[in-house]
Amino acid sequence: MRIAEIVSTIVVALSVCLSSPVVAQPKANKLLGAKRSASNQTPQSHGFYSNGCVAGAQQLAQTGPTWQAMRLSRNRNWGHPDMIAYLKRVSAKVAKLSDWKGLYIGDISQPRGGPMTSGHASHQLGLDADIWMYPPKRLNLSRNERESLSSISVRSKNQRSVSNNWRASHMEVMKIAASDPAVDRIFVTAPAKIWMCNRAKGNKDWLQKIRPFWGHHYHFHVRLKCPKGSSNCKTQTPTVSQLSKGGTGCDETLNWWVTDALKPAKPTGKKPVKRRHPRDFTMADLPQQCSGVLTSR
Ligand SMILES: [Zn+2]
């Protein structure tokens, strides 16, 4: 081998050593997902709904007078204390004012929040909760029943209208859920919002908080505002300016979801922009406080 070749081989080898880290960083969802209990810290949500964590979370009791937590094996019945208080308050109201016995609560967050080992991009701050569309008739489901029972879809097969499972009581329940001042927004399948826009009577201000979104036909998704005392929590800005001005969102734009949005996308020739999914985040991608949340007792 000539000297020049030897030198260039050494240079290449050195630059490889210096430029690429030898050990891949562990994923945040593996680290945070392995924690079985909350951090022993003052309750605080750090970051954004899809990039953050929660300190000092509380566990929602598996069964309460007006709720049951579902899929207990997932250990996702943890949230910021504001969320736990909200679920107790709202389920009690639902039991009192509707013909539902209470609420079946799906995923909230992991004990310390953060990206999850499966599903959801959000639910990281302990401020998002999925509420089943299945109207509870009893609140004594066994652990096994809570694993095997399925929710019901309130959306038709062609995705343009509500299904036969939809009841007027779904609107009553969502109105109660949205009317609570702690709520920032609620995501639900568009046909449900359209139905409610057409049938709601009286003051419709609460409909401002009901936002059409993909999926969300087996459950609706409640998102709370940043709690007091969580100075690192990033408030979500309204995406539709009309909504921020106190509108209900019950206008022709809503129809897009059940018409053009369902047509196959036209090829643009451009490569779709790939955004990183939170499941690929490392701890370095999360707010710095989350490292403290991870290592806290
Ligand atoms: Zn959700």
Model confidence pLDDT, tens digit, residues 218-232: 999 999 999 999 999
CA 218 / ligand 1 centre spacing (Å): 10
| pLDDT-derived band at 118, boundaries 50, 70, 90 | confident
CA 221 / ligand 1 centre spacing (Å): 5
How far is it, in rounded angstroms, from Cα 30 to Cα 125?
A: 17
Supply the pLDDT for residue 92.
Answer: 98
Mean pLDDT of 189-207: 94
Backbone angles phi, psi at 162, to 5 degrees: -75, 160
Q: What is the pLDDT of residues 59-99, one digit of tens each?
A: 999 999 999 999 999 999 999 999 999 999 999 999 999 99
CA 127 / ligand 1 centre spacing (Å): 10
CA 70 / ligand 1 centre spacing (Å): 14
Supply the pLDDT for residue 15.
Answer: 47
Find out whether 100 and 94 touch, Cβ atoms under 8 Å.
yes
CA 131 / ligand 1 centre spacing (Å): 8
Supply the pLDDT for residue 246.
Answer: 57
Q: What is the pLDDT of residues 163-188, one digit of tens each?
A: 999 999 999 999 999 999 999 999 99
Place of tokens 């000092």: 56
The dihedral formed by the CA atoms of 90, 120, 107 and 152, expressed in degrees to the nearest 10:
80
CA 81 / ligand 1 centre spacing (Å): 18
Place of tokens 């039991």: 95
Q: What's the DSSP call for residue 255?
A: G
Return the domain boundaries, the chain: 23-260
- Residue 118's Cβ-side half-sphere holds a number of Cα atoms within 13 Å equal to 3
Architecture in CATH of 23-260: 2-Layer Sandwich (3.30)
b vs e for 124-150, b when ≥16 Cβ sit within 10 Å of the residue's Cβ?
A: bbbbbbbbbbbbbeebebeeeebeeee
Least reliable range by pLDDT among 131-140, 141-150, 236-245, 252-261: 236-245
Distance of alpha carbon 98 from its chain centroid, rounded? Answer: 25
DSSP bridge partners of 223: 128, 185
Number of helices followed by number of strands (H, E) in the chain: 8, 11
